[in-house]
Every structure is written in C-alpha cells, then in structure tokens.
Amino acid sequence: MIADDVTRTAELARETLAAATHLDWQKLAGGLEWSCWETVEHMSDDLFVYAAQLGPANPSTSTHVPFGWHRRRPGGPCLTVFVDPAEGPSGLLQVFETCATMLAAVVDAVPPDRLSFHAYGPSDPSGFAAMGVVEVLVHTHDVAVGLDLTWSPPADLCTGALRRLFPSAPTDGEPWPTLLWATGRADLPGLPAQTSWTWDGAPRP
C-alpha cells in the first residue's frame, strides 16, 4: 500500500466522525474497553508511531524508537500522543488528521526497502502504510458502533490491506467483512470470530 491509501482512508474516517462531534465520545467504542475518545487517540498514536519508526536513516529492527508513553488511566491505551480534552472532538479529529498526514509524508519520503521494528515483525514503508490503513478502518468501525454511525469503507482499501497484511485470509467473500473477521471483530460463514490474531507485515517480493 502507498501514502495515498493512508491519506484517503484517514479522510474518509474524519468525514464520518466529524458528523458526530456533538455526541458523547466517552461512550465505549464497539467491543473495546476504551472510550470513543481514547480509541481515536489510539489511532492517532499508531499513525504517529508508524511514521516515527520509519524516520531514522538506519532504523532498528529489534526495538521501537524510544518516545515516552503512558496511560491516562488503568486499562486505557498506552500512548505518546494525547489530545487536550478541552479541545473537544473537533480538536481530537484535527490531531488524527495531522498524524495521518505525517505517516503518509514519511511513507512517500523514505526508501521503499527501509525496514523498521514492529512487534509483529519488521516491516517496510508499504507495510506500515497498510498498518495505518487497517488501524483506521477497524477502529473507525469501533467508534462508529459506539456512536451509532454508519461506516462502510471502500472495497479496494479493504482488499489492499488484506493482501498486504493478511495473505492467508479468505478471498471468496466481501473484503470489508473479511477484514473485520481478520481483526477479530466479526464472524464469516463457517468461520467464527477470532479470539487472537496478528498481521504479517513482512516485505513482499
């Protein structure tokens, strides 16, 4: 996947979530133990961290770039990026958009064969772009469930993410339900929802 995929995914998510800035973002997001606010902070943080991992000229493939992080509350997400609650959901979405722009810019700027650490295995810019796309697609789903919004992302983005990160996922069904299944959020015919899952960000030939 490429930088434009990250930008497009984030813009679609921002447009969807911007319609709900008047709602209560402290509601739980989907089946998560995080609020809708925390989940969007987590998305923003992931996009920022993926950009950071690709930033060094010679990234480590065994450990992350050592930014500090913490939890705002027990059980909340571990984050480097936080948003001032006084700025409200509109401010939160501005931070989200900014972090997506950062990842897209870095994916576009660095050599395509650069490898950097991820907990699921080292990956390249295409892999980190796909990770950003997946994080936004599925966590926007979580927030949309919490805020009672409609979220049905384009098939090509879902297909690209599945091909890049979930090469063993079924290919005979609709890509969006398949991506939700691959990330433990839905059943597929004959396949119950997964209770444990990872993606494969290894560089592709």
Tens-place pLDDT, residues 129-149: 999 999 999 999 999 999 999
Is 124 contained in some domain? Answer: yes
- What was the pLDDT predicted at 171? 94
Polymer length of the chain: 205
Helix (H) or strand (E) holding 27: none
Which pLDDT does position 161 carry in this prediction?
98
User: Rounded mean pLDDT of 12-41?
Assistant: 97
29 touches 140 (CB < 8 A) = no
Least confident stretch, 14-23, 102-111, 190-199: 190-199
How many structural domains does the chain have? Answer: 1
Asked whether residue 50 is assigned to any structural domain, the reply reads yes
Instruction: Identify whether 191 is part of a domain.
Output: no
Dihedral through CA 5, CA 170, CA 151, CA 145, nearest 10? Answer: -130
**Residue linked to tokens 């997506």:** 100
With H, G, I as helix, E, B as strand and everything else as coil, classify residue 43.
helix
> Residue 205 pLDDT > 90, yes or no?
no
pLDDT mean over 194-205: 93
User: Does the residue 201 lie in any domain?
Assistant: no
Mean pLDDT, the chain, rounded, equals 97
Indicate whether 152 belongs to any domain: yes
Helix (H, G, I), strand (E, B) or coil at 176: helix
The rounded percent of the chain whose pLDDT value lies above 90 is 97
Q: Is residue 140 part of a domain?
A: yes
Specify the CATH number for the domain of residue 21: 1.20.120
d(CA 142, CA 7): 20
Quick: pLDDT tens for 136-188: 999 999 999 999 999 999 999 999 999 999 999 999 999 999 999 999 999 99
**Going by C-beta distance under 8 Å and a sequence separation of 6 or more, which residues neighbour residue 18?**
90, 93
3-state secondary structure of 166: coil
Residue 11 lies in a domain: yes
pLDDT at 23: 97
Instruction: Give the domain range for residue 172.
Output: 3-182
The pLDDT of residue 120 is above 90: yes
